[in-house]
Amino acid sequence: MSQRGMLLAAEGLGFGYPGRRVGQDVSLGVQAGEVLALLGPNGGGKTTLLKTLIGLLRPQAGAVWLEGRPLAGFPVAERARRIGYVPQAHAGAFAFSVRDVVLMGRTAHQGLFASPSDTDRAIAEAKLAELGIAHLAGQPYTMISGGERQLVLIARALAQEPRVIVLDEPTASLDFGNQGKVLRQIGDLRARGLAVLFTTHDPNHALRHADRVVLLGRGSLLAEGAPAGLLTASNLAELYGAEIHTLHDAGRGDTAFLPG
């Protein structure tokens, strides 16, 4: 399948900021019901690439395609109805309730200053319930745990009713238990037929939760393929410039990677 046949795709993409090129000649795509993991070191261009793929930054070369059409041709509100973006969890500056944070996802359908309708409220409540956080609805977003905040941000993105979900390091700074909760949601999103793209520093997350993996280093696409074939100690050592150890569990058939 060509990149343009994907739900969200980039072809020959150059990306960066005014006066500074971060990456070049990147082509990739993700289709419905698929999870694509973008793996690479700090400073490799992952977040800048994501911002370009969702339209927050303009491509410096090449193009981004959404549903086979140039992303630049979509009005902002229409784009927001198709792509849900989940940034890294943060504490937040204002003590909005969890319910109100999720309701913000409905502005893609109602406009920035419109009051939420009964339908909007019902959708927000449904997304809270789907993610198992309905009991947090009335609590201040600033007063819940990091893992709970990340689930709230996923619920907000789902309230947009998108076809694509893009997550920027969704497990960053989370403990093991909360990492598991968030990663399980990625599998649930795939099962619902969404196209899912997430970035990570942890090859173990990509190995277990992605259908395909892209290795990005110094702004260039180094390799792309199935996790089991692509994620090897030698490839990861080259990507991160560090010694990598591989652990095998013969009984379970599991593999894990540890830095040297």
- What average pLDDT does the chain have? 90
**Measured on CA atoms in the order 187, 188, 190, 191, is the torsion positive or negative?**
positive
Q: Nearest to residue 66, comparing CAs of 20, 35, 32, 16?
A: 32
**Cβ atoms 231, 207 nearer than 8 A:** yes
**pLDDT at position 26 over 90:** yes
Percentage of residues in the chain having pLDDT higher than 70: 94
Is 198:224 a contact under the CB 8 Å cutoff?
Answer: no
* pLDDT(228) > 80: yes
Cα–Cα distances in Å, from 219 out to 33, 62, 203, 230, 236? 27, 14, 18, 18, 16
The answer to whether the beta carbons of residues 86 and 155 sit under 8 Å apart is no
| pLDDT recorded at residue 46 | 93
**Across 220-242, average pLDDT:** 94
Instruction: Answer yes or no: are the C-beta atoms of 37 and 213 closer than 8 Å.
Output: yes
Beta carbons within 10 angstroms of residue 211's beta carbon? 15
Mean pLDDT of 67-84: 93
Percent above pLDDT 90 for the chain:
71
Does residue 251 have a pLDDT over 70? no
Which domains, from first to last, does the chain contain? 1-82+162-175+185-260 (3.40.50.300), 90-161 (no CATH)
Given a cut of 60, is residue 165 above it in pLDDT?
yes
User: How many C-beta atoms lie closer than 10 Å to residue 226's C-beta?
Assistant: 11
Confidence of residue 92 (pLDDT cuts 50, 70, 90): low
> Comparing 28 with 251, which gets the higher pLDDT?
28
pLDDT at 243 over 60: yes
pTM for the model = 0.90
| Model confidence band, residue 1 (pLDDT cutoffs 50, 70, 90) | very low
144-158, 188-202, 222-236, 244-258, range with the lowest pLDDT: 244-258
Reduce the DSSP state of residue 83 to 3 states and report it.
Answer: strand
**pLDDT, tens digit, 9 for 90 and up, residues 29-51:** 999 999 999 999 988 899 999 99
Per-residue pLDDT band for 89 (boundaries 50, 70, 90) equals low
Tell me the mean pLDDT in the region 156-169. Answer: 94
pLDDT score at 4:
63
pLDDT band at residue 250, thresholds of 50, 70 and 90?
low
Q: Which residues contact 258 (CB under 8 A, 6 or more apart)?
A: 244, 245, 247
Asked if pLDDT for residue 2 goes beyond 60, the answer is no
